[in-house]
Amino acid sequence: MAVRALVFDVFGTLVDWRAGIAAAFRASGVSGDPEELADAWRARYRPILTEVNDGARPWGNFDELHLATLDDLLGERGVDLPSDRRHRLVDAWHRLSPWPDVRAGLEALRRGRVTAALSNGHTALLVDLARHGDLRFDCLISAELAHVYKPAPAVYETGARLLGVDPAELMLVAAHPWDLQGARAAGLQSAFIDRPLEYGPGSPAREDPDATESVGDLHELAARLAP
């Protein structure tokens, strides 16, 4: 089936959260290895989304969830940090830089097809990230519109519905096999993009043998999808 539209995961797939969050920890005055702190904060991401999806926790947007996981992390480590500095760390998720191929790669892909973000991040956060990185999408689609987080099928289905395409005509581009698997379970096509530095130089190798496409960057994807 032809790919009529592309949707993109954002954190890790398009933007380098680790470098931005490590820099924010470095500026925060919190002692310890900034990269390790970034990884430890991010490690609390999927568990808290699962709590929300399971109904064990009320809905919260990423600012609220990031603050909750930061409070947990700092509490566990006995770090005392004033509220305004915690909020500055939470705000750092709004100003993350894209991977080097992303700005031009999105432009190339947008020439041929409708392109949209499809992220668990809330709309206002996605707006800030797109403006910060000068990333152009046709549309931003947040999990908040489905009121449930990826990999719940409703998020991918919401993307297809809003873009007016059949799920089978929609392709998710992501660096995370769990996300691509969620997309396939909702009937979407999937493209794995390798981001070998998402967790720094020692990142675990990833692959997704079930993905329709498997590429090293967005330019390679544009070439593969060219008519």
The answer to the question of residue 131 lying near a second copy (CB under 8 A) is yes
* Locus of tokens 């409708």: 114
Tell me, by CB under 8 A, how many residues bind a second copy.
Answer: 21
**Active-site residue flag, 9:** yes
Q: Which stretch binds a second copy (CB under 8 A): 84-92, 136-144, 174-182, 219-227?
A: 136-144
φ/ψ (deg, to 5) at 10: -110, -60
Q: Which is nearer to a second copy, 63 or 220 (CB)?
A: 63
Which of 122, 176, 184, 195 binds a second copy (CB under 8 A)? It is 122
Residues 90 to 119 in contact with a second copy, rule: CB under 8 A? 114, 116
Residue 24: exposed, middle, or buried by beta-carbon count in 10 A (0-12, 13-18, 19+)?
buried
> CA 131, CA 134: separation in Å to the nearest integer?
5
The answer to the question of residue 28 lying near a second copy (CB under 8 A) is no
Residues 137 to 156 in contact with a second copy, rule: CB under 8 A? 138-140, 142, 144-145
Contact 211, 192 (CB under 8 A): yes
Q: Which is nearer to a second copy, 142 or 214 (CB)?
A: 142
Which of 74, 81, 108, 124 binds a second copy (CB under 8 A)? It is 124
Q: Which is nearer to a second copy, 150 or 176 (CB)?
A: 150
The secondary structure of 122-166 as a DSSP string is -HHHHHHHHHHHT---SEEEEGGGTTS-TTSHHHHHHHHHHHT--
Which of 19, 127, 154, 168 binds a second copy (CB under 8 A)? It is 127
The answer to the question of residue 157 lying near a second copy (CB under 8 A) is no
Task: Name residues whose C-beta falls within 8 Å of residue 124's C-beta, 6 or more positions apart in sequence.
Answer: none
Q: Which is nearer to a second copy, 81 or 145 (CB)?
A: 145
Which of these, 98, 113, 99, 100, lies nearest to 224 by C-alpha position?
A: 113
Q: Please list the helix, strand and coil fractions of the chain in percent, rounded to the nearest 5, in that order.
A: 50, 15, 40
Residues annotated as catalytic are 9
Residues engaged in binding a second copy (CB under 8 A) = 114, 116, 122-127, 130-131, 136, 138-140, 142, 144-145, 162-165
